[in-house]
Chains A and B, each alone.
Chain A
Amino acid sequence: MPTQRFSGKTVLESARERMAFVFDACPEVIVSISGGKDSTVLAHIALTEARSRERRVGLFFLDEEVMYQSSVDQAECLMKLFPGVGKPMWLQVPFKLTNATSVTEGQLDCWEPGKHQVWMRPKRSDAVKAKPWDVNTETTRNRAKGFGFYDAIENLQRHHAGAAFLVGLRAAGESPNRWRAVTKYPIEFGGRRVYWGTRRESVATLYPIYDWNTHDVWRYIWDAKLPYSKVYDWQFRKGYPISAMRVSSLIHERAFKSICDLPEFEPKTYDRLLKRIKGIALAQEAGRSAKLFACRKLPKNFSSWITYREWLLRTHADRERVPIFEKRFARHLVNEFVARQQCRQLILNDYENNLTVDSSPDPREALIRYYDEVL
């Protein structure tokens, strides 16, 4: 695995060099934007480079429907930032999104045809409303789950074969696993070996700001006087630690906690979300509850996490998913530490295994063993 060394260059200089290299190597460049801080920075660097070359750059935004209004506003703002340079690709096509807040409505059909009365907001006039790729050759990762978020991205990428897709993914300052995942398998791109990208078939996805940390991103936003999502300001005022200040989806397994503060940040968005999908009111009340979604405290009716897990499996509302959980849990260690994580998966109906279970020995048992030895 590549190690990190000081090169004498700032991360901004390196990112600009990478951007110039991508533009040299590829006739079509598309930046994925989400409305977050990282993609804002990446889009600005790409737009600046494109303008200096009198070229255009695609700004791809996959509209998830259930998003912060501030993220939508930010995406709109980025599309208008360099008129004539940015080529808007605002995709509002139907796809499925995991909903961790409800076991009875485990998936949201974003932009579901015929349900425009309940959509979070109407579709935009300038958006791409029909799938631009050939529907007959469309691929789906998991047919049982249906056409999902990543399927939409993959099909669009295939539709633009040969283009370079830029993503504002950062590996520095995040988990070592993220760093390893990004840098472990270098790809050949533009006649060079590139450690900041991945390739699927003929499509290269590149991460030009992979070595930036959070502070670098905020510094760039400040220096370039860039607009950014208002949600960050609200989160800052609320005292969120810097690592928790994220503007991602509102309903998937890792992000549903953001619903707790949504009525405070964006009351209108929360109001529309309540009408749009099940489980929102409960997630807002109990998203951080130790006994419910966070699964940190054992409900008093149970003597152990293992018995709680068995009860959850027995009474799970989504019976079709139970065999998936049972098969997965059979491969795990049997201890309280693991059982607690399994309970969390069951409560969030995480049949996709997005919140992976750390199947390792119980640290509590290790502490008891330690006391047994030393005392």
Chain B
Amino acid sequence: MICLGLTDADKATRVRDYAVEHHIARVFVLGQPLALDLTVPVECVAWPDLIKYRFYYRLLQEVDGRTLLVVNECLRTQKRYDLTYNCIRAFLNQTSHQLVFQYLPLIDTAEDFAILFDFDSRSRWRREPLERLPLGEVMVERVDVAPNFVTVDVPTPEAAKASYAKCKRELINGIGLRDPHTIPRNLYLMGGVAKAACVDPAGHYVGRNRRMGLSSLCTFRESCGNSHVVFEFPHDFIVFSDHLARTRQRSIDVLVADLNVDRWYFHRFTDWSNRIRDAYATIQR
């Protein structure tokens, strides 16, 4: 079964109910650790450990027909045939009991859902694209957690705009063989000073780093619990996806400076949010 958008408490309940109903003798949590209060032994194997020999071969020996595998937040890369995914497949082949938990159904595109589908379907269709998968073959429980973004306009001085234009020209002219995505990544930092002037010291903000030295601003790695205003978006969707999974925010205010790059990032993430909604629709068909 694939469960999307559940809280840790809901996940723990699902695991407990499943373990009782199917007389499970042992539980392995693969990926993100999950606090479980069960009478049977529980072991968590973190994502980086899944490919290590000392875990891989031991799990192949120990996972049997009475073991429940909880695949928790394991959608970490878009590469469907990634080594870690292949290791998880090997563990899943040892038992018929698995629960797949994930906050969002994708990293970037709807095709990513096929990875979760593989986990829950013994990878029988792992070479087929999403459009050809028999989606009715797996049960999906979902809570709609697609984010909504709200713009908070930040006035930007003309000097900052001039500096932005200059920096853009320098970046483009000097890009050489470097990754072209360096251009928006670096330009996006330019609006930081203007945004810092609008920051409420009592609020909670999340940004790429602590370069502005603001006590109310934390990084995407550190965010948890509270509702945060997005000071600036990360470039990679997975970083933001992790942030959402920790904070469970739905409605998100975003500081948008009067610069093209800020507007571009805002639209990029709005499109991403729409893709999540489309993915929900695809999964349900």
Which residues of A are in contact with B by a Cβ distance under 8 Å?
A: 239, 241-242, 298, 303-304, 336, 364, 367-368, 371-372, 374-375
- The list of the 3 closest CB pairs from A to B, nearest first, reads A367-B180, A371-B183, A242-B127
Chain B residues whose C-beta falls within 8 Å of the C-beta of A372 in the assembled complex: 168, 172
* B81 CB–A CB distance under 8 Å: yes
The answer on a CB contact under 8 Å between A364 and B81 is no
Q: In the bound complex, do residue A336 and residue B180 qualify as a contact, i.e. CB atoms below 8 Å apart?
A: no
Given contacts A303-B176, A368-B172, 6 further A-B contacts (CB under 8 A): A304-B177, A336-B177, A368-B180, A371-B172, A372-B168, A375-B183
CB of B175 within 8 A of CB of A368, answer yes
Categorize the interface residue count of chain B: 10 to 19
- CB contacts (< 8 Å) of B86 on chain A: these are 239
Q: Which residues of B contact A304 (CB under 8 A)?
A: 177
- Residues in A whose Cβ lies below 8 Å from that of B172: 368, 371-372
- The answer on a CB contact under 8 Å between A241 and B177 is no
Interface centre among A298, A304, A367, A371 (most CB of B within 10 A): A371
Check if B184 sits within 8 Å of A371, measured CB to CB: yes
Chain A residues touching B, majority SS: helix
Whole-angstrom distance between the Cβ of A375 and the nearest chain B Cβ: 5
Residues 81-105 of B, flagged 1 when their CB comes within 8 A of A and 0 if not, give: 1000010000000000000000000
| Given known A-B contacts A239-B86, A374-B260, A303 and B177 have beta carbons under 8 A apart | yes
Contacts of B183 in A (CB 8 A): 368, 371, 375
* Given A241-B127, A368-B175, A375 and B81 contact (CB-CB distance below 8 Å): no
**Which residues of B sit under 8 angstroms from A242, Cβ to Cβ?**
127
Q: Is the CB of B260 within 8 A of A364?
A: no
A interface footprint on B127-158 (CB within 8 Å = 1, 0 otherwise): 10000000000000000000000000000000
Q: Give the CA-CA distance A91 to B86 in the complex, in Å.
A: 42
Q: How far is the CB of B1 from chain A (nearest CB, A)?
A: 26
Within the complex, the shortest CB–CB distance from A78 to chain B, in Å, comes to 27
Nearest CB of B to A246, in Å: 15
Does A375 contact B177, Cβ atoms closer than 8 Å?
A: no
Within 8 A of A (CB), among B166-203: 168, 172, 175-177, 180, 183-184, 187
Query: Nearest-CB distance from A230 to chain B (Å)?
Result: 20
Chain B's closest residue to A245 (CB) is B127
State whether A375 and B180 are in contact (beta carbons under 8 Å apart), knowing that A241-B81, A241-B127 are contacts in the complex. no
8 contacts between A and B (CB under 8 A): A298-B177, A303-B177, A304-B177, A371-B180, A371-B183, A375-B168, A375-B183, A375-B261
Q: How far is the CB of A266 from chain B (nearest CB, A)?
A: 23
Whole-angstrom distance between the Cβ of B118 and the nearest chain A Cβ: 13
B264 contacts partner chain A, Cβ-Cβ < 8 Å: yes
Cα distance A336–B175 when bound, in Å? 13
Structural contact, A364 and B180, CB atoms closer than 8 A: yes
Residues of A within 8 A of B168 (CB): 372, 375
Task: Give the Cβ gap from A238 to chain B, nearest Cβ, in Å.
Answer: 10
Q: How far is the CB of B135 from chain A (nearest CB, A)?
A: 19
Chain B residues within 8 Å of A375, by CB: 168, 183-184, 187, 260-261, 264
B102 to chain A, nearest CB (A): 23
| Measured CA separation A371–B169 after assembly (Å) | 11
Chain A residues closer than 8 Å to B127, beta-carbon distance:
241-242
A8 CA / B86 CA spacing, docked (Å): 38
In chain B, what residue has the closest Cβ to A242?
B127
A59 to chain B, nearest CB (A): 31
